[in-house]
Structure 1
């Protein structure tokens, strides 16, 4: 099926119609944030599921019950997804946990007034592309990716779900009120998960013991998290995800793009990246 059949153009970016019908987007536009809300913001395939595992464990101070008994899309719901409207999140006690793939300029009015805490996760765009390529092949509500070359042109031009990676990143790293935003890298979480949990805990105002930090980190190692049926999307209908083509939680590594892109493709990606990000002064951790 085509983009016109599967996607809605919402504020200049593609969103899948199945997950984001107009009524749920209107719900998000009118959503009232609280100042102590915690919002995980990512471009798709940048570590959202990982953060949906870590942050509730920081909130619960290491109690595994929430992540072992509640699906991640309910414990940390995406605010732009249709199902969120029936979760009665308005009645949840503070601090509430949410996730979103929205660009900064797509956020609702109350976000800018209230200024909740934001955890913004960045990942090497080549790995984002690679993960997205396989995801588009197994997610039945997305346009088939075609060849690597075909999907790369769509990705580099922002003609994929949630638009341009470049615009998404630039919008959030250049946004106002940076004191309310913590930037964290997928790669630093791989290199030092305990240090990342410690960093997140400090930003969220949680003083956790080293024993609790180690407990959270051990549970959230990718191979352990992948076994959690409340997080690996094995509970999702086969009419939505065909995990015989690719697992939802696939590898969880850094540098997997090298197994997908050839030299010419990598060089083309680099040239577009350098042009689009030439005016961005921001220190990245990927190589």
Structure 2
């Protein structure tokens, strides 16, 4: 299973992806009560998932401490994830790394709530390299230098970050769609959680909010086997080569990218996001 991508419409996906994404796009029915987390891989997906799950339980950590994260919010583009979603009771929670053009069309006509989390792509490169080299469900790079080139070319799982984020940013301003960044959660977690609460229409007491904040800290999630992916089967991940919860910081790219790589990244970045309004990203 290792060493391969599943190529669909010119985009590389992990081998666990449903091969017939067209049927998923055209036939899956999104319900109005659904809560969907969207992201490009390694953007803070698991952090926002934990926040949403704990807001749902009003700070009670029993759900996040007893049920595996990929069962609480299954991946819609995976075979096993889709099966789990179909059996969920309302409100359903699920996740997706799919580019906007691949996601079920019914979402865009529904009242379902969608949250898109984004992150500085330079940090995504670093985090992605360390994560994907441990997974057995996609092609593994031989070096950081090779992965860096793959990333700029869009030859990494789920394709180009630039296309992904520019696609989903088209949803900005929609009443049922929230865009939040890894960086703003880092800067002021309480304000970030309150922002998500408001979007979901959930009011928390001070005690409930404090419980959410306590249980979504990096250390709490790293220690929670239901959330840290340490229980992901060995058929999918070589745990000796990497982990999900590595550092949980911003700006780590400065410790990894060379001056030449930074210059090469900046050139591609300027070209790819030129059409977006200035200030679209907090890391600029």
What range describes the TM-score normalised by the shorter chain of this pair?
over 0.9
The aligned counterpart of 2:50 is 53
Contact 1:24–1:81 (Cα < 8 Å) also in 2: no
Contact 2:21–2:102 (Cα < 8 Å) also in 1: no
Which of the numbers 52, 56, 80 marks the counterpart of 1:83? 80
The aligned counterpart of 1:135 is 131
Contact 1:34–1:114 (Cα < 8 Å) also in 2: yes
The aligned counterpart of 1:216 is 212
Number of equivalent positions:
283
The aligned counterpart of 1:232 is 228
Q: Which runs of 5+ in 1 are unaligned?
A: none
The aligned counterpart of 2:5 is 7
Deviation at 1:117, TM superposition (A): 1.0
Q: Given the alignment of the two structures, is residue 42 of structure 1 paired with residue 55 of structure 2, yes or no?
A: no
Deviations 1:196-239 (A, max 9, x none): 11000000000111221111011101111110000111111223
Map residues 182-221 of structure 1 onto 2, 5 A cutoff.
182-221=178-217
Q: Given the alignment of the two structures, is residue 95 of structure 1 paired with residue 91 of structure 2, yes or no?
A: yes
Q: Which runs of 5+ in 2 are unaligned?
A: none
TM-score (norm 1): 0.92
Distance 2:181 2:161 in 1: 15
Deviation at 1:172, TM superposition (A): 0.7
Deviation at 1:123, TM superposition (A): 0.1
Which of the numbers 239, 243, 262 marks the counterpart of 2:239? 243
SS at match of 2:180: strand
Deviations 1:178-208 (A, max 9, x none): 2221110001111111111100000000011
Query: Which deviates more, 78-87 or 49-58?
Result: 78-87
TM-score (norm 2): 0.93
Deviation at 1:115, TM superposition (A): 4.2
Q: Given the alignment of the two structures, is residue 162 of structure 1 paired with residue 158 of structure 2, yes or no?
A: yes
Deviation at 1:45, TM superposition (A): 0.6
Q: Given the alignment of the two structures, is residue 73 of structure 1 paired with residue 37 of structure 2, yes or no?
A: no
The aligned counterpart of 2:30 is 33
Contact 2:171–2:177 (Cα < 8 Å) also in 1: no
Query: Which deviates more, 250-259 or 137-146?
Result: 137-146
Compute the RMSD of aligned alpha carbons: 1.9
